Chain A
Amino acid sequence: MTLDQERELLLRIQSDRKEFGILFDHYYKPIFGYLYRRTGTYDLAKDMAAETFLKAFLRIDSFVWKDIAISSWLYRIATNEANQFFRKRKYKAAALESMVDFDLATQVDSEEEKHSLDAELKQHDDFILIQQKLSLLNIRDQEVIALRYFENKDNREISAILGKPEGTIKSLLSRGLEKLRQRVLS
């Protein structure tokens, strides 16, 4: 969706809330994917994605267009949701694999989808290791690294999502990457 299309859609949503469904259908998959890659847990990502879209729905009227993509705004809400989760469990980071196993024992609505995603996750050993080590870093490092290397966002996009200057993002990335490297090597 281009910026012009997003701007037009925003105006339509602000005059008719039902149009929010288009935004939801378009961005649910990337937002859910981002939260899934950050948390590594299907249920958690699903709950966070639901919270993200609920917050977006409730705040869309106050969204003022400043040439920042709606997707960046959605990513910002999702990032805050993920950060909230990591802040709460900051000092009891669990292994990603154990989290996956725990969730396999619970039943959810989309059992098939969950199993296929968990199977997909288990095929990415390097990612699991990086994700696990990343969750041990501080929130500021986690968010930039996840957006850069898990979501393939460039510095300009990350800057728009996090509301920080590009220079800050660059230095956060460089320092964060070094901390992550040390964790991986340890």
Chain B
Amino acid sequence: MKPEDFEKKMEGLSTPKSDAVPPKELRLAIVSAQRSAVMGIWFIVMPWFLLMCVIMKYIFHINLGIIDTLKQMMRALDKSPQTWWIGPMMLMGLPIVSIIMNTLAISHFQWESYTGSLIVSIRMRWLNLSVLVVSTGIVGIFFLYLITENCR
């Protein structure tokens, strides 16, 4: 196709028309949904991996050896007053941050003063929802572990 013909084609290009109606309100995400999902995944990689190793070892009786190395590493970190917080931060802190970020990314809060009600709506973003579910699961499991360990 010659440049002149292409220009003519572009001049006559039929574009999709949008009949979008202006919304009554603008819903702005508090934090970016995609970024939250990606960061959330990074935040839960380590605890997820640890959980998988535990499941492999104690449920399926497959010992990859990694769990013992990790245990030793955690114990070493736990002993030092400068590094004791790294373990809890990695296993509980980061998944909690992931929960907060992904919840904010898909939620919309609206206060209706005349009825005195707070309307919460959730956008169905599957990636954020999945990260949210996995993060909640991880926090729940480690929380239960903490309770059972400390109440024994």
**A: interface residue count bin:** 35 or more
Q: Which of A25, A32, A124, A178 contacts B15 (CB 8 A)?
A: A124
Can you name the residue of chain B whose Cβ is closest to the Cβ of A42?
A: B20
Q: How far is the CA of A145 from the CA of B18 in the complex (A)?
A: 19
Q: How far is the CA of A127 from the CA of B16 in the complex (A)?
A: 8
Main secondary structure of the interface of B (DSSP, over half): loop
Q: Which residues 108-133 of A sit at the B interface, judged by CB distance below 8 A?
A: 108-110, 113, 116-117, 120-121, 123-124, 126-127, 130
Whether the pair B10, A177 counts as a contact (CB closer than 8 A) is yes
Whether the pair A149, B10 counts as a contact (CB closer than 8 A) is yes
Given A106-B125, A150-B15, A181-B6, A50 contacting B26 (CB threshold 8 A): yes
Q: Which of A36, A50, A105, A113 contacts B16 (CB 8 A)?
A: A36
- Asked if A76 CB lies within 8 Å of chain B CBs, one says no
Nearest chain A CB to B18 CB, angstrom units: 4
Whether the pair A124, B16 counts as a contact (CB closer than 8 A) is yes
**Chain A residues, CB < 8 A from B18:** 29, 32-33, 36-37, 117, 120
Q: Residues 37-58 of chain A: 1 if any B CB is under 8 Å from the residue's CB, otherwise 0?
A: 1000000001100110110000
- Asked if B56 CB lies within 8 Å of chain A CBs, one says no
Nearest chain B CB to A74 CB, angstrom units: 13
Q: Which residues 5-24 of B sit at the A interface, judged by CB distance below 8 A?
A: 6-7, 9-11, 13-23
Whether the pair B16, A120 counts as a contact (CB closer than 8 A) is yes
**Chain A residues, CB < 8 A from B16:** 36-37, 117, 120-121, 123-124, 127
Q: Residues 22-60 of chain B: 1 if any A CB is under 8 Å from the residue's CB, otherwise 0?
A: 110011110000000000000000000000000000000
- Asked if B65 CB lies within 8 Å of chain A CBs, one says no
- Asked if B3 CB lies within 8 Å of chain A CBs, one says yes
11 A–B contacts, CB within 8 A, in A order: A28-B22, A29-B21, A33-B17, A33-B18, A36-B16, A37-B16, A126-B14, A127-B13, A127-B16, A180-B10, A184-B6
- Chain B contacts to A: CB under 8 angstroms: 1, 3, 6-7, 9-11, 13-23, 26-29, 123-126
